[in-house]
Structure 1
Amino acid sequence: MDRITVKFGGSSVADADQFSKVAAIVKADPRRRIIVVSAPGRRHQDEPKITDLLYLCCDMAAMGTDIGEPFGIIQSRFTEIADALRLDSAVPELLDSFRQDLETGCSRDYAASRGEYFCARLMAEYLQAEFVDPADHIVIRPNGTVVPQTYQTLAARFRDQTQRYVMAGFYGRGQDGEVKTFSRGGSDISGAIAARAAGAILYENWTDTSGILMADPRIVGTPRCIDEISFREVREMSYMGASVFHDEAILPVREAAIPICIKNTNRPHDPGTRIVPRLSQQTLVSTEIAGISGKKPFTMISLEKTLMNKEVGFGYRLLGILRQYNISFEHCPSSIDSISVIIEASQLDGLEESVLDDIRRQLAPDHLSIEHDLALLAVVGEGMARTVGIAGKLFDALARAGINVRIINQGASEINIIIGVAEHDYEAAIRAIYAAFVPATP
């Protein structure tokens, strides 16, 4: 039997009404057999996140402070869901035991993982499905990747293809056997791992938006939803700051060529966005760009030195100076007598003068300058390399908007063009590019 793995984010499991929507979605397609859930999300903007409250309880307990107030909020959220769904649940009793764990001392990872754990227990009871504790199957290395054996052990747990399984997201166990979490938002990773382990034909990621948008709606307003995007494109957009999909969650399904579909729990009939190994021919011929994303602020250090190209190891020594200060770089454009490194501004906090002094002393540049308050934008699209005039259209749009381009860089894959502008031009640049490539809706 073909199976689909579905992951529901925090907004999709925020309360009993959302649980009911999840159940309807799962039951609408009998192939939806593996369900992964996050911790319950906010019901309104002013409400604290469950995971933040769990971290707070852990920290307060470590300082010997009474955790009654934040723990009471956590407890009431889960109890309200269980009561509204009329579940004869073990979760209230488990919460009492967990409070003792907090007060007697438990790890931050263990504390944070309980939001997903209790949510998955409730969802399994509600769907009459088998609960799967990822700590029994997913082994996480110190760098956040999982050991290969994870897929085999989890596949064995999912062996009954007629059964529904509900697994908690966000955590597994470390190689020391203790509960270990992924980075925040890591339930997307858990879902991708479950999809690959189950040999799923599709990984559905259900959230509160109807897919991936072509640009930040806080800047553009009502950007178009992307119908289909490749793994490479979404990776580029995610890397450049777009909140499209947890970038680490791409790898497990990409390696297994399992497509992803981003769907809206509150609008389940919307088509959503498909993330695929290869774009269809129709998408390639009909779409100039996939989307626009960006980040800020950045700082650019620029060096000029005559005959730099003849000086063996010049670039190596420049990057070595950054390494000494544990500074990574985003881009490194160069010419015959000049080279620049573009760095996230926060990485230079308190280090700027020391870094510049080392560059002067070790590399003796003819000219050294530093430019602050830059923003980087990425225009991403698989078809750009085969489409005449994309760069011209892009730079014409910026020129018409009166925006000066400080940096131009194209990735080796030729699926993106990265430009740098002054930070104060960032939003105007995104709007100008979007308007150039996406016709206004009548």
Structure 2
Amino acid sequence: MKVVKFGGTSLANGAQLEKVIRIMQADSSRQVMVVSAPGKRFSNDQKVTDLMLSFAKIVLAGAEDSHIIQTIVNRYLEIAHYFKIETTELKLTLNKKLIALKQQHYPNFDYLYAAFIGHGEYLNAMVITQILNHIGCHARFMSPKALGLQTTGSPLAATLDPRSYQQMAWLTLDPQEIIVVPGFFAYDDQGYMTTFKRGGSDITGAILSHGLKPTLYENFTDVSSIFIASPKIVSHPMPINHLTYREMRELAYAGFSVLSDEAIVPVIQDSIPIQIKNTNAPDADGTLIVPQRTNDLSLLPITGIASDTRFAALYTHRYLLNSEIGFTLKLLNILYRHHISYEHMPTGIDDLSIIFDKQLSSPAQFAAMRADIARELHPDILEWYDDYAVIMVVGEGMANNPHIINDILTPLSQNNIKISMINQGASRISVMLGLPVNQAQLAVQTIYYHFFGQ
């Protein structure tokens, strides 16, 4: 049995859904289908998730909402019409669901937003199930609640309660059926809908893979593979045929957007391979993410290069810092006091830098933190870099290459790219570089062209 997830671009309209159905029919072991909400049909279009968010804002404002409801309903009816389904009853059902959604009581605004945007997936799974049965496939809609998926944490960034996996263990599948599961959301212990973090449907697919133990988790998107570097930075980069869990985790941290790191953790626990495939080119090899390399897989020195500009850095210099007992403890207490987490803390004899994820704290928190550090720790130099980028150079083959640091840094130096931080993990399969945002793109290009040519 395989778990198969389809993203929003794969389900944007009837023609795309027809491709998805052919993919499901081509392999009888594809029995668990995780679906996103319909994505953009063309460049200036709106995703259904965005329409649902607009609907929520209109309801909160107390404004007229009939137009937005009709727009949302029409997106689903358009898909149903493609398969020649009589839509009178479906239209009534969709309208009732959306009207009930705005009439429900919610503990706070976050719960309201979670319910509204989560219904993009809910309604799509419901419609797709009807379409599958209409064309002769034996399909069953399966709500996350019926599967026993229960969440904890905040409504818009929920995490799965591990006890949910015990509930999934009891699920049995008819060998001839497809179960259609809406991605992105589940329910908390009070029965309220909550949503996962970004890439939420990917997370649902990974959760189901961990709970149902398939032979393969297939993730269909709009790209044929994961590339060594972002096509937005390097023109026509080479594809990655095989990738290990460790490599994927390292690359996802620095912005590899095909799968977030949260979306692969559940499958890592069971060593289930993940296949990245393209809905529009399903016969392409794609990228296979595996537990570990085997001898017949080529081990290039570098597997991937990723960069992200979401960081900030704090540099402190104080003479004899290394001999002052308790300096780091005092610094960390200040971070704790302001509810700020840090990503990395490279140190020297008299120097200490801290790398922060700017998405996790507000500018006001960072400003208050810096003021307390200056007042309480009295550093000789205290500098804040708000435009900081991190580049991850990753590859299982790096561990056995004694020249890898030199091979990475030499071409960067030749291009006058100033690296302010270098960190190689204990696993030796990654090198992290810190540098100004305005040099990050050139740095990625320089590393890529040095190892893989033009």
Aligned pairs for 1:248-267 within 5 A: 248-267=262-281
Deviations 1:234-277 (A, max 9, x none): 11111111212022111111111111000000000100001111
- Secondary structure at the aligned position of 2:342 is classed as coil
CA distance in 2, matches of 1:185, 1:280: 29
Pair 1:115–1:394, CA change in 2 (3 A): same
Q: Measure how far apart 1:74 and its partner are.
A: 1.0
Paired position in structure 2 for 1:31: 29
What is the aligned counterpart of 1:206 among 220, 240, 263? Answer: 220
Paired position in structure 1 for 2:123: 118
Does residue 109 (structure 1) correspond to residue 114 (structure 2)? The answer is yes
Q: Say if 1:135 and 1:179, in contact at 8 Å, map to a contact too.
A: no
Q: Measure how far apart 1:94 and its partner are.
A: 1.9
- Secondary structure at the aligned position of 2:233 is classed as helix
Q: Measure how far apart 1:366 and its partner are.
A: 3.3
CA distance in 1, matches of 2:448, 2:316: 33
Aligned pairs for 1:130-279 within 5 A: 130-136=140-146, 137-142=148-153, 144-279=158-293
- Secondary structure at the aligned position of 1:409 is classed as strand
Does residue 73 (structure 1) correspond to residue 71 (structure 2)? The answer is yes
CA distance in 2, matches of 1:124, 1:353: 51
CA distance in 1, matches of 2:417, 2:323: 35
Paired position in structure 2 for 1:98: 97
Paired position in structure 2 for 1:46: 44
Deviates more, 1:428-437 or 1:312-321: 312-321
- Secondary structure at the aligned position of 1:157 is classed as coil
What is the aligned counterpart of 2:323 among 298, 304, 310? Answer: 310
Q: Measure how far apart 1:88 and its partner are.
A: 4.4
What is the aligned counterpart of 1:407 among 403, 407, 421? Answer: 421
CA distance in 1, matches of 2:376, 2:159: 37
What is the aligned counterpart of 1:330 among 320, 340, 343? Answer: 343
Q: Say if 1:296 and 1:344, in contact at 8 Å, map to a contact too.
A: no
Deviates more, 1:390-399 or 1:322-331: 322-331
Amino acid in structure 1 at the alignment position of 2:145? A
Amino acid in structure 2 at the alignment position of 1:101? A
Deviations 1:291-315 (A, max 9, x none): 1111115432222233322323211
CA distance in 2, matches of 1:297, 1:180: 26
Pair 1:345–1:272, CA change in 2 (3 A): same
Q: Measure how far apart 1:343 and its partner are.
A: 2.3
Q: Say if 1:58 and 1:102, in contact at 8 Å, map to a contact too.
A: no
Paired position in structure 2 for 1:20: 18
Q: Measure how far apart 1:412 and its partner are.
A: 2.7
Pair 1:372–1:116, CA change in 2 (3 A): closer
CA distance in 2, matches of 1:38, 1:353: 39
- Secondary structure at the aligned position of 1:24 is classed as helix
CA distance in 1, matches of 2:260, 2:367: 35
Amino acid in structure 1 at the alignment position of 2:14? A
CA distance in 2, matches of 1:351, 1:251: 30
Amino acid in structure 1 at the alignment position of 2:191? G
Pair 1:91–1:280, CA change in 2 (3 A): farther
Q: Say if 1:154 and 1:197, in contact at 8 Å, map to a contact too.
A: yes
Paired position in structure 1 for 2:108: none
Deviations 1:60-108 (A, max 9, x none): 1122111122222211110011111123465422211123224424522
Amino acid in structure 2 at the alignment position of 1:83? H
Q: Say if 2:8 and 2:40, in contact at 8 Å, map to a contact too.
A: yes
Where does structure 2 lack aligned partners over 5 or more consecutive residues? 106-111, 134-138
CA distance in 1, matches of 2:313, 2:260: 27
Query: Would you say how many aligned residue pairs link Structure 1 and Structure 2?
Result: 437
Does residue 291 (structure 1) correspond to residue 304 (structure 2)? The answer is yes
Deviates more, 1:6-15 or 1:70-79: 70-79
Does residue 429 (structure 1) correspond to residue 443 (structure 2)? The answer is yes
CA distance in 1, matches of 2:102, 2:386: 47
Paired position in structure 1 for 2:398: 384
Q: Say if 2:344 and 2:355, in contact at 8 Å, map to a contact too.
A: yes
Q: Say if 2:118 and 2:185, in contact at 8 Å, map to a contact too.
A: yes
Q: Say if 1:91 and 1:121, in contact at 8 Å, map to a contact too.
A: no
Q: Measure how far apart 1:353 and its partner are.
A: 4.9
Pair 1:149–1:393, CA change in 2 (3 A): same
CA distance in 2, matches of 1:16, 1:192: 26
Pair 1:254–1:104, CA change in 2 (3 A): same
Where does structure 1 lack aligned partners over 5 or more consecutive residues? none
Deviates more, 1:63-72 or 1:90-99: 90-99
Amino acid in structure 2 at the alignment position of 1:230? T
Q: Measure how far apart 1:161 and its partner are.
A: 3.7
Q: Say if 1:329 and 1:344, in contact at 8 Å, map to a contact too.
A: yes
CA distance in 1, matches of 2:316, 2:102: 55
Q: TM-score, normalised to structure 2's length?
A: 0.91
Paired position in structure 2 for 1:340: 353
Deviations 1:332-380 (A, max 9, x none): 1101222111224564623555333321332232333334433211101
CA distance in 1, matches of 2:162, 2:312: 39
CA distance in 1, matches of 2:278, 2:341: 36
Q: TM-score, normalised to structure 1's length?
A: 0.94
Q: Say if 2:314 and 2:382, in contact at 8 Å, map to a contact too.
A: yes
CA distance in 2, matches of 1:108, 1:370: 35
Amino acid in structure 2 at the alignment position of 1:319? L
Q: Measure how far apart 1:228 and its partner are.
A: 0.7
Q: Say if 2:299 and 2:397, in contact at 8 Å, map to a contact too.
A: no
CA distance in 1, matches of 2:245, 2:381: 41
Q: Measure how far apart 1:54 and its partner are.
A: 0.7
Pair 1:18–1:256, CA change in 2 (3 A): same
Amino acid in structure 1 at the alignment position of 2:319? T
Computed over aligned residues only, the root mean square deviation of the Cα atoms, in angstroms, reads 1.9
Paired position in structure 2 for 1:301: 314
